[in-house]
Structure 1
Amino acid sequence: MAPVTEKPEEPLLALRNTVKTVSALLDQLETAIKASHATQKPPASDVNALFLAHDAAKLIRAHSTKLSLLIINTPFTPSAIVKVLRGLAAGPLPSLGTAVEICGAHIYSDIMQGELQWRVRKVYSEFGVLLKEIPLDGKVLTDDQKNGTGKTVGKGSLASTGVLWQACDDLAELKNLGIAGVVVRKAEQYRDTLKDAIEELQEWGDESGDEDEDEDANTDDEADEAIPNAAQDEIDDFFGSTMHIPSDDPDKIRPRLELSLRRLKLITVMFSAVIKRRFKTLSSLTLSELSTGDYPLTQDKLTPPKSGSVMAPAYRVDASVDILRTLTELADNLASAFYDLNAEAIDDGMDQCFSTSLKVTELLSQDWAGKDDAFTTWAQTFKTEIKK
């Protein structure tokens, strides 16, 4: 009796099954990287997570280009699409999951870990969109399906491919940015936010309370009578009406404002010094040097490390950026206290904001190797000036 040969799977059926399998894989990978590993150390690996993510992203971009062309050009070839999808499922897609898994905060910093996770999730999400564009009826996409026109649901395969390309490029960029590039961007963003708050506070302080009084004096009497005080207060609150420092300044708000503005401007200088003297120098460190020392994964980063402990540069980076972010929030709270002319809240806000700024210079006083340098001396000067 002749041996029974297994009948090859029908091409369209194979395509449908492969699309279903890859879709399920994407769901599994996305679920895995969404799980929080903040308090766990990933497995030791000699592989650089950023390099692995870069190479996988480049492959996904190249494969998505092939895929995009196969679904819009005749003849429609299911077997070719299956080959591309299986290649992605066998290598690049799970490689991104591996990159996230080995990108531990104690080595790469929590900031980089979060950035990598977010960008990988973006690639998975956009690849999932393109996957749904694959026609399973044996026909190439119509012009409307390709361009997202007519009654087509979605943006079309070409636009989906372009968005996926951008997501892959953004992910691959992390290799060149490195920890230094990502941290510098965040610190500059926080510094710019602080500068905006200072500028608004400065403009508010330049406006005289006398102007408000003049405007009130010129208000039409009938309008005054038509709107009760309580109703006017509600209207002012709704439209963000702001009080200004009165000319007699009984609560001494203006001296507090001048002192706060001087100190806040000094803090922006501190941001720039930290960026230049500390964060930009991270690019010279190896992964081994970044992880040398302690990284307490469960510790509140706003709490100073125990005396005598040697903190890993990765931890010092995360803690200092956390403090910089907190400073922008405290500065915003301080500005709100000024706008409310609340002297007690202003004093409390000043104390919190300026004492918090000292935590940054204390944490970064020494270089990444634990040695004194020019910034160490500058940090002492900053401490003296911020207390004046």
Structure 2
Amino acid sequence: MADRLHRLLATTLALSEQFQSTLSTTPASSSSQPEEKDSKNAGPAPLPLLSASATALKAQVTKLSLLAINAPFTPSAVNSVLSAVNDSVLPSLLTAALLVTDAAYTKSFRAEVHALVKTLLKELSGLVGEVKNVADKKDRENKGGRKEEELPAPEKDSVVGATGRVWDACDMVVEIAGKGVVGFVIKRVEEWRDLVKDAIGELEEWDPADDDDDDWDNLLNGDGEDGGDDDKSENDEDEDEEETAALNEHKKTALRALKPISAMYPAIISNRLKKGGLEISPDVLLPSSHLRALETLMADLQSIPEHIDEAAGSLYEADIRKSTSYLRKAKGRAVKVVESLVLPWTAEGAGAETPEEDKFSVWSKTWLKVIEEVTPALDEKGK
């Protein structure tokens, strides 16, 4: 019985490592799943299978953990759990993950699913390693003819901690499977929205007149002890005042541009992702045109906080020209996004009608007008 247990433990570890390698080496551009599926001949729906597999794994590792930390240690019971994991749960988990392809679910969603499943497999290996340590210890006790002892608290804690990490990984897989592609996009857009809001808050608090760097430079140069400020020329002071005034003016320009950009994110989430023509059920595949649009939308929305971060960093370094360039890029991407979403999403296929304008359509036209009015300093002629 002990030999069979060790074989099963070794098999679980081997499968986990092999499946992680499979997910890592699967071509990113895999298009094995056709864009148009015949519902009668379609295979298992990947996301429900993914969720069910992760849920089943969580239940099995819970039993495995309890069997490992509680006396008496029963190899036959542990064997039963490991057999279920090896023969059914792990193969189903891998199958579901591999069915999530770029062509059917977008590259970003596929990459996230594969990364989460690999993390789950890694954490499972950690737990199985802890169980193996317990099994080895029990073997030594049995071979030595000693009475089985209660597992020490530190060893119990190691098993429980590893189990908790597997639970967390399972929950993350279940969550993304339940949200589907659109839910995944919404979560990402919310994260980028928060980055923009944080950048605005930091910029509002920043005061160009607080020049701590100059004070630090003075200390490094040996100034400041004998009233270095008194030796500063009036010309230098005038230049500092001019620079501070210019930085303050550019700060205002930046904030005028960033506030409408910040307002764009929640409007898109509410009116184009949560509603507006997209099917949000994880059981239903989106048309290929929608998937391509979502890929482009995510790329554009992700780039905006990156440009804003560069713009703010350049401003803090008193490089107004560079800051203006990045703000212009952020504004350009934002305008592109809003213009692409003026009309609601439409169903793909022959005979599809052009959608009618809705509340967001009216809002987007106003937004486009406002952002042009508040950012004249970012026009190309202002280079």
Q: Same fold (TM over 0.5)?
A: yes
1:111-126 matches, within 5 Å, as 111-126=108-123
Whether 2:362 is the aligned partner of 1:367: answer: no
The alignment partner of 1:86 has SS state of helix
1:387 to 346, 352, 372: 372
The structural deviation recorded for 1:276 is 0.8
2:380 match: none
TM-score (norm 2): 0.77
1:72 match: 69
Whether 2:295 is the aligned partner of 1:318: answer: yes
Letter in 2 for 1:319: T
Q: Which runs of 5+ in 2 are unaligned?
A: 35-41, 142-147, 229-238, 347-353, 374-383
2:166 match: 164
2: CA distance, partners of 1:99 / 1:116: 10
Aligned length: 331
2:242 match: 248
Deviations 1:219-277 (A, max 9, x none): 99x951679x9xxxxxxxxxxxxxxx953359844433322211100000011111111
The alignment partner of 1:284 has SS state of coil
Whether 2:18 is the aligned partner of 1:19: answer: no
Whether 2:258 is the aligned partner of 1:271: answer: no
TM-score (norm 1): 0.76
Q: Which runs of 5+ in 1 are unaligned?
A: 1-10, 150-154, 230-244, 294-311
1:349 to 318, 326, 330: 326
2:46 match: 49
Letter in 2 for 1:31: S
1:68-217 matches, within 5 Å, as 68-134=65-131, 135-136=135-136, 137-138=138-139, 142-144=150-152, 147-148=154-155, 156-204=158-206, 207=207, 209=209, 212=211
Letter in 1 for 2:287: T
Task: Tell me if structure 2 keeps the 8 A contact 1:197–1:332.
Answer: yes
Letter in 1 for 2:151: D
1: CA distance, partners of 2:86 / 2:123: 15
Whether 2:328 is the aligned partner of 1:329: answer: no
The alignment partner of 2:287 has SS state of coil
Answer with 188-197 or 250-259: which moved more.
250-259
The structural deviation recorded for 1:280 is 1.6
Deviations 1:124-171 (A, max 9, x none): 111111111221343678533x5448xxxxx51122112212222222
Change (3 A) 1:225 1:262: closer
1:220-259 matches, within 5 Å, as 224=223, 246-249=240-243, 252-259=246-253
Q: How many percent of aligned residue pairs carry the same amino acid?
A: 27
1:299 match: none
The structural deviation recorded for 1:341 is 2.0
Q: CA RMSD in A?
A: 3.0
Structure richer in helix, relative to its length = 2
The structural deviation recorded for 1:88 is 0.9
Letter in 1 for 2:340: L
1: CA distance, partners of 2:330 / 2:160: 49
Task: Tell me if structure 1 keeps the 8 A contact 2:116–2:169.
Answer: yes
